[in-house]
Amino acid sequence: MLVVEAWEWDERDDLLLALLPAGVPVVLALNKVDRVKDRAKLARLLAACAAKRDFAALVPVSAEKGTQVDALAAEVAKLLPRADPIYGPDDITDRSERFLAAELVREKLFRLLGDELPYTSAVVIDTFEAEGELRRIQATIFVDREGHKSIVIGEKGATLKRIGTEARLGMQDLFGAKVFLELWVKVKGGWADNEAIVREWGHG
């Protein structure tokens, strides 16, 4: 899709058009038509655009007002290949349960601690065992400083226990299985530069 402003086509649009491979269908969207009061001028621009390339469709729209946006989507849809759905209607993500477990712990970590804990913290799943309707999960929360560790653990371990309980309940709802969750907190300065941690956190 190529989007240009509805009141004129200039050299910048020519540069973009030149980047588009020949033979590839292109839908041209003339945006901000609500700002063009002279309909004759708009008609002339449409004719000039049509001469630039054999566009699959030319659609005047206003993204801000929502004018003709449905028509634009319909023109794009005509060009999309049809195929069977990749995911089922009940699938909510393509990420693994292992990845989601780490994200749930991280979510509870920051929801409960708010501004007390810098965002330089990571959660790594050490072990993840699925046994039918049971998940056994061990995870480590990495923080940058010793002071951050005490914040996460809390007085007599109360904060860490709450993080674990809320994360475990969230996992049980998400996985539809009973979850045993064990959490540890470790200090590792500069963890963001540790490729193993970043890979684990980023890909699950």
Cβ(155)–Cβ(112) below 8 Å: no
Band (10; pLDDT cuts 50, 70, 90): confident
Mean pLDDT, residues 29-37 taken together? 89
- The residues of the chain that CATH labels 3.30.300.20 are 97-203
pLDDT 10s digits, 130-188: 998 999 999 999 988 888 899 999 999 999 999 999 999 999 999 999 999 999 999 98
Query: What percent of the chain has a predicted confidence (pLDDT) above 70?
Result: 91
- The residues of the chain that CATH labels 3.40.50.300 are 2-79
Q: Are strands 122-131 and 57-60 parallel, antiparallel or unpaired?
A: unpaired
46 vs 49: CA distance, rounded Å: 5
Specify the pLDDT at position 122: 85
- Take residue 108 and report the two structure tokens written for it: 């509870």
Domain 2-79 adopts which CATH fold? Rossmann fold (3.40.50)
Domain 97-203 adopts which CATH fold? GMP Synthetase; Chain A, domain 3 (3.30.300)
- Name the nearest CA neighbour of 152 among 101, 179, 118: 118
The residue with greater pLDDT, 194 or 46, is: 46
181 vs 169: CA distance, rounded Å: 10
Specify the pLDDT at position 90: 75
- Take residue 79 and report the two structure tokens written for it: 């060009």
Q: What is the pTM of this model?
A: 0.53
